[in-house]
Structure 1
Amino acid sequence: MPKRVDHTQRRAHITDALVRVAAREGLHAVTMRGVAAEAGMSLNLVQYYFATKARLLHAALERLEQQSHQRWEARLDALPSAPSAQEFIEAFLAEALPTDAESRAFHLVWISYAVLAMTDPELAAQPFVEGPDRLERQLTDVLRRARRDGALGPRRDAATEAARLLSLSHGLGTSVLVGQRTADAARDVLRAHLDQLFEEAPRDGVQQDAPG
């Protein structure tokens, strides 16, 4: 009886191989042949699952985003049963910093993809901004609930603050990647900004739902 092939697992194996190559050599140096060698597969097999490099790169981003969400859920599980809005958002933003090998690979690949997409029409055609847009909507929802429950000042606009927080965390993440500051220093900057954002309102514990 022929062995059944788990195509989902095989696709994940290929995208994980791409991430390893990109983290080691840079996304600009990634080739389909190099990914095939890293995955221990033939080039034809890799091309069977991903007809173009652009599709493979986009699949790798989706895989990295899924893994990032899993790490975020683990951070959430480690919080107290009724975290304050500030604690909840701080944990949310902590995942946006490259603090270990996995999160570093995520940020390195995503930033590199964004840079390449600026001059590559095929990469630019892929909807790679869906992830950041979704995160911004989720953070906006959390901030709106925090304002409604009195944990955030009533004059704060949730959408504006969400965009500001994500822009700050992304910039700090890049500064960590290039060695400008340590991950601990970046977390301190985020924490200081959150202290300022929430100082207008009481810090009563507010139970929030996880972004989903």
Structure 2
Amino acid sequence: MCGARLPAAERGRPPAYCSRSCQAKAYRRRKKERAAPAVVPKGAAAPATVTPAAAGRRREIAEAVWRIAAGRGLESASMREIAAEAGVSLRVVQYAFGSKHRLLVEALRLLHEENEARARARVARLPDPTDPRAMLRTVLGEFLPLDAQRRMALRVFVAYYVRSLTDPALAEVFLHSEQPLEELVAALIRQAGPDGGLESGLDPWREADLLVSGVTGLGLDVLHGRRTMAEVWRTVDYHLDRILGPA
């Protein structure tokens, strides 16, 4: 432990420590190493050897983050509050995620996965998935509070956006340069093509940018009660008629 010469054995096994003080230090070091949380480097992927039980526990903790973010905002999401909301100890949360930043990033990733799975299921149920208007309505509807899950997700994304304004590390993750939704909407508009109803002279990317940002803002108005979903859909259909021609 300390490098000092060990005393000679009087009987039985030879001593492992030079003194009781050295033995106590070794005990405290082992205890600290066992209790230390598994720290995941910033931006690194989750460990590949997570057991099903551990994955389920991480999911429960992430859902606690969603509930706090949607109900009270991320400013209320301390590690202790998250642990209490999830019904686990603070030590469990620390062991599972290592840091608050990593927890917030993982909770956001899991929410994106949840939304993507639900969106794919809704697209699969479309009568004609090759219809660009139907596809566009379905894709844009994912950012409208059409049910409890999408309402919660929209509130969580707003909470992350607010937090990203004062948290540069979170902003790097949340406000990345990629724009997958805009790219998808632009691709669907292009698929309509000159023969498929796309109005000539339009820029698919600019139209996609306007549609996505507009729908997001309209969804927030629905959350505040300033607009109804019927009004929002009339606005969406108005712009789809302008881009693709009358239905």
User: Which one of 138, 149, 163 corresponds to residue 91 of structure 1?
Assistant: 138
Deviation at 1:103, TM superposition (A): 0.7
In the other structure, the counterpart of 1:139 is 185
Deviation at 1:82, TM superposition (A): 4.9
> Does the aligned pair in 2 maintain the 1:33–1:43 contact within 8 Å?
yes
User: Which one of 197, 220, 225 corresponds to residue 174 of structure 1?
Assistant: 220
Structure 2 residue identity aligned to 1:10: R
Percent identity reads 37
What's the TM-score, normalizing by structure 1? 0.83
What's the TM-score, normalizing by structure 2? 0.72
Q: What aligned pairs does 1:108-187 form with structure 2 within 5 A after superposition?
A: 108-125=155-172, 127-130=173-176, 133-147=179-193, 150-187=196-233
CA distance in 1, matches of 2:127, 2:52: 42
In the other structure, the counterpart of 2:240 is 194
RMSD: 2.1
Greater C-alpha Rg: 2
CA 1:47/1:78 → structure 2, altered by over 3 Å: closer, same or farther? same
CA distance in 2, matches of 1:97, 1:45: 34
Instruction: Give the gaps of 5 or more residues in structure 1.
Output: 204-212
Instruction: Give the gaps of 5 or more residues in structure 2.
Output: 1-50
> Does the aligned pair in 2 maintain the 1:94–1:187 contact within 8 Å?
no
1:106 aligned counterpart, secondary structure? helix
Residue deviations 1:8-57 (CA, integer Å, cap 9, x gap): 32221210111122223222211111111121211111112222222222
Residue deviations 1:72-103 (CA, integer Å, cap 9, x gap): 12221232135521111011101110122211
User: Which one of 108, 111, 116 corresponds to residue 61 of structure 1?
Assistant: 108
CA distance in 2, matches of 1:86, 1:92: 10
> Does the aligned pair in 2 maintain the 1:65–1:131 contact within 8 Å?
no
CA 1:142/1:164 → structure 2, altered by over 3 Å: closer, same or farther? same
CA 1:5/1:93 → structure 2, altered by over 3 Å: closer, same or farther? closer
Moved over 4 A (4+): none
CA distance in 2, matches of 1:176, 1:129: 23
CA 1:196/1:120 → structure 2, altered by over 3 Å: closer, same or farther? same
> Does the aligned pair in 1 maintain the 2:60–2:86 contact within 8 Å?
yes
- Of the two structures, which has the highest relative contact order with CA contacts closer than 8 Å and spacing of 6 or more? 1
User: Which one of 6, 14, 34 corresponds to residue 61 of structure 2?
Assistant: 14
Structure 1 residue identity aligned to 2:149: E
